[in-house]
Every structure is written in C-alpha cells, then in structure tokens.
Chain A
Amino acid sequence: MVSRRIAFGLVVGGALALLAQSATAQNAAPNGLLIRAGKAWVAPGQALVRASLLVKNGKIVDAVARPTNDAKETFLDQADSVRDFGKNAVLTAGFVDVHTHAGSDGELAEPVESFTPELRASRAYDAWASAWKRITARGVTSAVLAPDDRNLAGGIAAFVDPGLAAGSDADNYFKMSLTGAALNRERRPTSLMGAADYLRERATELQNLAPAKMTPAQRALAAVIGGGQSVGIACSTVREIHAALDATTTYQLRTFLIHADEAEECLARIVGAKVPVVLRPLGLQSSRKQLRLPGVLQKAGVAFAFAGENDQDSGLPGLQTSLAIAVRQGITAADALASVTTRPAQIAGQSERVGTLFTGRDADILVWSGEPWDLRSRLLAVIRNGTILHENKQ
C-alpha cells in the first residue's frame, strides 16, 4: 500500500516537474531574437538605418545597419525568432529613470530620524507594485528607487529592473536632501545652517575611527566621504544648491544635484563644480523657469538628465513628454534622448549595462512608431533583457 502511494507521488511529482519546466521554457527570453526596424538610435546621435539587432541571453549580440545578404543569413542562423516592426519603426535603448519613488507608497523615509545613511531603498522595493507595470509600459526599463526628500541623509538608492526582484548588487547612489522637506521642526536639523552643522558633526565622528568600530550608519557615510560612492543631493532653491555644492567641496563628494529648480541663478558655480543635474519631469504645468532650465544647462555645458515617473498618472508619459518638451525648447534631439538614456545610466554608474544599444549591453529596447521625441509616436513594444514585456498594436 505504502509503495503504491510512493509510486503515485513520484508520478505526480514528475508530471508537475515537467509542467514547471515547460512553463519556464515558455517564459524565458528566446535564445536568439532578431529585431528589425527602420532605424535604431544605438546611442544618441548615432543612428542605424534599416537596423537589425540580434539579441541573445538578454544581451545585444550585434547591431548592424542595412545588413548584407551574408549578414542576414548569419543573423537568421543565430535567431530562433524574428520580429520585424516595419520600416517606420524606430528603436532606442530603454529609458533609465535615475530618481523615482514609484511603488513605494511613502515608505522611503524614516520619519523619526533625519540622518539614516544606512537605510537601503532596496528593502522598501516592492517588485509587485502596480506602478512598475505602468512605468515599464511607458518605456522605463531601468530605474533607481531613491529614498525620498524628507531626510537629510536618506540612505542608499537601489538600481532595479522595474517589476523584477532586486538583486544583491542593487545598491546605488547615496541620497541626501537639503530641501524644505528635510528641515523638520520636530527634529534636527531645522534649518539649512543646522543641516550643514549636523553633517559636520557626523563627519567629525568618523575621524580617527577604525572601520571595525564603525556603526552601519557611520560605515555608509564613510563610503561617501572622499568621493567613493556617488551622492545625489536634492535641492531646489539657490541657497540649497549652494549648500549642496559647499558640502561637495568640503567632503570631496562625487555629487549630482536633484531637482535644482533655481540652477539658472547659480549656474557659474554649478559649471565650476562640474556636477550633473537630474531635473524634474517637464509637463504642461511646469513653470517658465523649469521649461527654460534644460536649454540653459545645455548651453552652459552642464550634463542633465530627467527624472520621470511616479505613482500618480500625470495623464501623459513622463519621460517621453519631458523629451518632447525639451526638444520643443530648443534642445537637440540627440541631447534630449541622452537625458533619458545614456546620462541617467552614467549618473547611476550603469552605462556599461544600459542606456545604449551597443553590443554587449542589456537588451533593453524600446520600439517606437516614429521618433521617440515626437508625442505622435507610440511605444509599439518594450523589450527588457531580450523579452518582450509589452506590445501595442500599430
């Protein structure tokens, strides 16, 4: 009787294992996918006409323009499946949102403490949040989930593939905030001056302290001082921007500014400090100053990127709208495209993986019905790691 039960269990178990295996095979990225389109922006300003991209194991294996018959044959040999999106379709690298709080439900700040450098946004990352699905459908294939602006030292941001579980290497830049949101009457610091003082106190504690004796918070701060780990400092007004740049100089930080709404007023100092800026998304409700800022920064030679998506549906796609408005404001299309692909990838330190369609990069590809900066263009398909995540009818 017992042996019968064991035999039955083995049969059922085997069947289940087979089913699971077949399901995994169906979900996995096709081993060798050939993608064809009218044009591919492999990098901003570098276009391949009549492009063919070969994707294997989630990476771009080859990208060529006007492939010869031999090349076509070689590609077809290596591809299990072919997707031809037509001659009007345009390929770009997946968008990188370098500063987002999406899907966090307000869980990205510690309300009691203002100085929490050891906190990790990856711990608050909810891969199943519906916001990620929406964001991915709008073309964001990589995002940096950052602690929000309520803490002076918010913690460590997480580089994630939206909707996929965060890996152990998710830790990214260190997030600080000098905005009004971080200055709380209920706790220190209560003023910008106090914030600088607070930071100095914490930095002084680190002097002559052996790493073994450091607390996790001190270790996190020590990794930043001296330019080890990059720091994103949220600041909006001229005073806050100056305070951020002061901290950059004092502690030799590898800084980039977040928001920096009044950057135009202290442009010379930003140019001198050579810090990139992550701007708010542009939309119909953006102020005149915000609309002007990308053009001003471009003219001054300051690298900028757009942060885009959040939980709220703003009615239009965030990064694509920013891209279109930037072009309307006079930014060159290549520069505008860089501000949502290569530059955020560089700021996040992931330019070897994402932001371009060069060989060896992650196969994060967006397929558009026209140029991506034209809002008439629709996103036909979102491909991440070689797998088609979303597909819209033309």
Chain B
Amino acid sequence: MNRLLLNPLLALFLPIASTAAQGAFKPDKLPETWPEAGKTKKAAKKPGATKDTAALRKLLGDASVTLVRAGKLFLPGKLGKTPRIVDGKKSWLAYRAGGVVGLFAAPDQPLEIAANEVKAKMLDFSDKPDSFAGPGLCDADSRWFVASDAGDLSVGAKGQLEIWQEGWKDLVLKSGITTVFVPAGGAVGTSGPGVLVKLDPEKGATQLGRPGASYYQLERLATRSTNLTRGAVVKSLRKALEGAKNYKKADEKWKKDFEAYQKKRKDFLAHYKKNPLKAGEEVKAAPARPTRRGRGRGRIPRTKEELEKMLERVPPAMRDRIRKQMEARMKAAADKAKADAAKAPKKTGDKAKPDDKKKAPPRPKYPKKPKHDRTKEALLRILDGKTVLRIEAHRAAEIKAVTKLALEFKLPRIVLVGATEAFKAADELRKAGALVVITPQTLPRQGMDTLEEHFAANAAKLAAAGVPVAFGSRGKEQGAMLSLYAARSVAHGMPEAQALQALTQNAIDAAGTSKVDTGMVVFSANPLSPTAHVLCLIRGSQVVRLQGDK
C-alpha cells in the first residue's frame, strides 16, 4: 500500500509536533482514517476559506510551507481587505517564507497523497482552545539599535544601527514582537529612511534591505501660535517640497539638454570626420552664453527704441539725465565696435568655400548639470511615493495643515506620529490617506484637548473613523506593552481584529515598507490578553517551540 488515505490536516500533527523544532519533518506514522470527514462543510463556507484541494495538495508537497492550526487564526487585512479573526478549529493557516499564503478549510473528502509526498510542516495547537496564531507583532516606533542622531533626510538608519545590541530577545520570546521599526537617529529631528529590523532569537537581529520611512521634524514656532498661524509649522516642509519639485524640473531640463547635446556632438564629430581640419583652421566654438550683464541691469541699449523702453522704468524726473548718460554710452559703444571691426584681420578663404563654412557646426557645449542635492533627491523619493514620510504633529491645526499639504503635493502616504488631537482631525486624516502611529508622546499635553484614557480612546476613535492606526513604544522593552495598550483600545470600541491589525500590518505599513515577512507566532491566548505567552515562533522554514509550550 504505497498510497494512503490521509487526513493531512489533522493526522500528521502528532509526529511533527515533537520533531518540528529539530529540523525537517518526516512523517513516520500516518493514520488511515479521517476523523473530520463529513463535518467540514460549514468550515468551507467561511469567508476566506477555500476548498481548493489542488492548492492544498501543492502546499503539502512544499517543504518550505508550514501549516498551522490553533484555536483562533488572525489574518491581517492587505490590499483593502479587512482583517479578521477566524475560528481555527477547522481551518489551517498556510505560511511560507515571505508571508501568509492563505487560509484553507479542511477538505470535504480525504486526500489521496503518498506519505513521502507530504513535505510541509504541520503544527496543530487545536488541543489548546485559547491558542491564537497570526503574524508576528511589530513595534512601529522603536529605539532599539539606535546609535546616533541624524539630521538630514538623506542620512538613513541603515548601516548606522548598533545591530549588536543585546537584551531584545525577551521581546520576541515573551511578547511575540518579531519586527521593530527603527527611525534614523531615533527621530529626534529630521532624518533619513529608517529600517525595519527582524528579530530572530536564534539568528539574531537583521536589518531589512529596503529603506523605510523618513522622518521630518516640523518647524517649531518661536512665538506663541494661534489656530490661525499654526499652519506655519509646515512652511519649511512646503518650501522643501517645492524646492524638490524645482530640482526635478531642472533635472528633467538637463536631461533634455543633454540629449540635444549628444545629438549635436554626434553631428559635430561626423562633420569633422568627413571634413578634417586643415592647417590653420579652427573648430567653430560654441556661442557664448549671454552674460548676466548683457541681460540685466547696466545693459547698454543698442537702439533708440530700446532706450525709450528702458526709460519707461525710470522715474520721470530722472529720465532726461539718464537719457543723456545712455546716449553718451551708446555712442561710445558704437565707436568702440567700429574701431574693433577695423582692427580685426580679414579672414582668407571665406569666399572660396562659403557652403562648407556654413555647414560646419559649432562645438556643442556640455549642458550645465544642476548641483547634486541628496536632500532634495530624498524629498523627490517622498514625492514619487517611493519613501513614506513620517511627521510628528500633535495639535489638530497642525495635523490639518500636514494633511492639506499632503493633498496639495499628492503625497501617496503620510504617517502622523504622536497625533494627540488626531481624533479632532479624523476626517482630514482619512481623506489624505494618512496612517497614525500612536505613541506615548500622545499622552495629554498642556493646552490640548484630550479624552478620558486618551491613548486608547484616541486610537479607537481614529479606527472608527476609518483611519488606520499603529502603535509605537518609542522605547525598547516597553514594546512588550504595546499589545496591552491595543487591548485598551478594544475596551474603547476598537474591534479586536483592528487592534491586531494595528500591531501587525499597519505597523509594517507605517514603516514604509510592505510585503515584509514578520513570521508567524502561536500564542497561548489572544495576544491582546496579558496572560498570552508565545508557544511557537515560525520564521521561514524554521520552527522554534518555546518551553512554555507543553
């Protein structure tokens, strides 16, 4: 009997559970019955569950895939899909290096699959009804690994982090935080792209290749501001973005000029290849650029019409005096030109070959390249949507000014950090497509309107208004508390799935990078509960079972 009737979605678990941590799984004992047969119809009707047994068969044959079953499964919302928590008893969450593959319901019929074809790892925690599986959590604003203060949009965190710092393993093993976003320079001022750091208790901390969001420090007003003047905080940012736009225009113009130059140079070289220079001949030089003096102030008019036009800009009382002066200068200039013409030697052969002379192109001049500006290039990446911009703003008027600016410059995504009074500007934030990172900095400040239990209530109100929210600790070990703060938002009306989304996908989005593999974590309970601890960590094809998992 080389082919077996298998219930791969339940039966294979037992032998795997004990061996998964030690390496690749090799099933050695397979049951021949399918206890769940005939009971899976209801599960198949669940949203997101698929009966695609072909896909499941394919996954089972993939050694890089891990299938997880637990009391509850969390699927973060990606690409406009809403996050959801599903009953994990009759569904399996498939994970592979790169992220969650999908949610699969146990098939109606037993799968015919040979034992040696099953290569995927299968982890079944359904015997623990409170267990909870989902992607690893992310701290959207961490201070781990921060080495120095950066003060320029062009200076990123990558390569500057003290990645060798220790002490973060508890964050992973106890709280299930597998990724942290580290802003460059700890976001104490304007700084370049931050970095997502993957925390792996076995392999250590590794920086993600792609640069993350940049941080911009808003202008601090020297004088006490009012609601009418608070928009001034974005003045410098507006100026910087306009400068970047002009830089882009100048760059585009240079590219056009460079293309024209290349064409002219080709003609130029072709001409002299065909008509080599003879002794005594010179290459025709490029026409000189008009000088500032020739175009601007102090220019000597050439004709009387030009002089009259110039005098229109002069006060009437001074016109006669200026006219006299200019006429004298015009006369002197004309005399000088005559004298120069008389002095100039007459060129020979002009009449002999008039056509060739006309055809000879002048030497093209290399177009002047705009000065390389890394800061403006960083801003251009923000304008193009390649880099996400994070801005710390607290007052509602400031937040509104930032969102207005984002719409004006069509910034694809901005991230507001802190945002104490964000609940008052929820509509504007939603319209601007902004994401808000709630941090302890959102603790009530003097002169600001706050809610009861502000940290959580603010997040809940924003979520209710359709503004995506993430949580950031602005600390190190304090990241372990984020799930508790998200839990408090649930008490204020935020759905649990939204709270988990804030700790997972939204935090990744706030970091300015998407499609990040944060691994999978199996908790002993809903991670929003303080009693939850990590049972199992799955990263790529590596499975780490922790001591708490008995």
Chain A residues close to B by CB (< 8 Å): 283-286, 288, 291, 312-317, 321, 324-325, 327-328, 330, 333, 369, 373-378
CB nearest neighbor in A for B499: A376
* Docked-complex contact B455 and A316, CB < 8 angstroms: yes
- For the residues of B in contact with A, the DSSP-based class is helix
* Docked-complex contact A333 and B531, CB < 8 angstroms: yes
* Docked-complex contact A325 and B530, CB < 8 angstroms: yes
- Please indicate the chain B residues that have their CB under 8 angstroms from the CB of A313 in the complex: 444, 450, 452-454
In angstroms, Cα B174 to Cα A285, docked, is: 18
* Docked-complex contact B480 and A316, CB < 8 angstroms: no
* Docked-complex contact A374 and B530, CB < 8 angstroms: yes
* Docked-complex contact A374 and B478, CB < 8 angstroms: no
List the 4 shortest-distance A-B pairs measured between CB atoms, nearest first.
A315-B455, A327-B530, A375-B487, A328-B530
CB distance from A95 to the nearest CB of B (A): 16
Other 13 A-B pairs with CB < 8 A, given A291-B478, A315-B444 = A283-B481, A284-B485, A288-B167, A313-B454, A315-B456, A325-B484, A328-B174, A333-B531, A373-B531, A374-B530, A375-B491, A376-B487, A376-B496
Could you show 25 A-B contacts with beta carbons less than 8 Å apart?
A: A284-B440, A284-B481, A285-B475, A288-B167, A291-B480, A312-B444, A314-B443, A315-B440, A315-B455, A316-B453, A324-B487, A324-B530, A328-B484, A328-B530, A373-B530, A374-B487, A374-B528, A374-B529, A374-B530, A375-B484, A375-B488, A376-B491, A376-B496, A377-B491, A378-B491
- Please indicate the chain B residues that have their CB under 8 angstroms from the CB of A312 in the complex: 444
- Please indicate the chain A residues that have their CB under 8 angstroms from the CB of B490 in the complex: 375-376
In angstroms, Cα B443 to Cα A191, docked, is: 35
B460-481 Cβ-contact flags toward A at 8 Å (1 or 0)? 0000000000000101111011
CB distance from A263 to the nearest CB of B (A): 18
- Please indicate the chain B residues that have their CB under 8 angstroms from the CB of A314 in the complex: 443
In angstroms, Cα B478 to Cα A283, docked, is: 8
Is B442 positioned at the interface, with any CB of A under 8 Å from its CB? yes
- Please indicate the chain B residues that have their CB under 8 angstroms from the CB of A327 in the complex: 530-531
* Docked-complex contact A316 and B456, CB < 8 angstroms: yes
CB distance from B235 to the nearest CB of A (A): 31
- Please indicate the chain B residues that have their CB under 8 angstroms from the CB of A317 in the complex: 453
- Please indicate the chain B residues that have their CB under 8 angstroms from the CB of A315 in the complex: 440, 442-444, 450, 453-456
- Please indicate the chain B residues that have their CB under 8 angstroms from the CB of A283 in the complex: 481
CB nearest neighbor in A for B479: A284
Contact of B488 among A316, A328, A330 (CB under 8 A): A316
In angstroms, Cα B452 to Cα A317, docked, is: 9
- Please indicate the chain A residues that have their CB under 8 angstroms from the CB of B456 in the complex: 315-316, 375
CB nearest neighbor in B for A317: B453
- Please indicate the chain A residues that have their CB under 8 angstroms from the CB of B484 in the complex: 321, 324-325, 328, 375
- Please indicate the chain B residues that have their CB under 8 angstroms from the CB of A291 in the complex: 477-478, 480
CB nearest neighbor in B for A287: B477
- Please indicate the chain A residues that have their CB under 8 angstroms from the CB of B530 in the complex: 324-325, 327-328, 373-375
Contact of B481 among A325, A374, A378 (CB under 8 A): A325
- Please indicate the chain B residues that have their CB under 8 angstroms from the CB of A378 in the complex: 491
